[in-house]
Amino acid sequence: MAAHNEVSLGDTYFVSPTFLFRWEESQNAHVLLYPEGIVKLNDTGGAILKCCNGETTVEEIIDELEALYQADRDAITEGVIKFLEVSHAKGWIRIAS
């Protein structure tokens, strides 16, 4: 599978153990909790991180979001890859494979 920047479509990611990913009713959103604070995620960010379970590949995440949003696959692919790159750089997620 071809790599786009540093993210490969065959990669799998998981949420870093220093973060807790969950739905927060008071925020009406998925959040990442960590000792210093909280990150409130938008719907798409929450959908992507929900798939970061160490088993779902980037390509499968794209497939799932394409079905969920019924949007252009190229745009979804670009958005997912950018989100994963930023999330990885911030230490929110780690690569599993």
**Per-residue pLDDT tens for 52-65?**
999 999 999 999 99
Task: Say what the pLDDT of residue 22 is.
Answer: 97
51 compared with 1, residue with greater pLDDT? 51
Residue 68 and residue 66: Cα distance in Å, rounded?
6
CB contact set of 76 (below 8 Å; sequence gap of 6+): 62, 65, 66, 69
Closest CA to 88 of 6, 30, 1, 21: 6
Give the chain's domains with CATH numbers. Answer: 10-92 (1.10.10.1150)
Average pLDDT over residues 78-97: 94
Query: pLDDT at position 4, please?
Result: 41
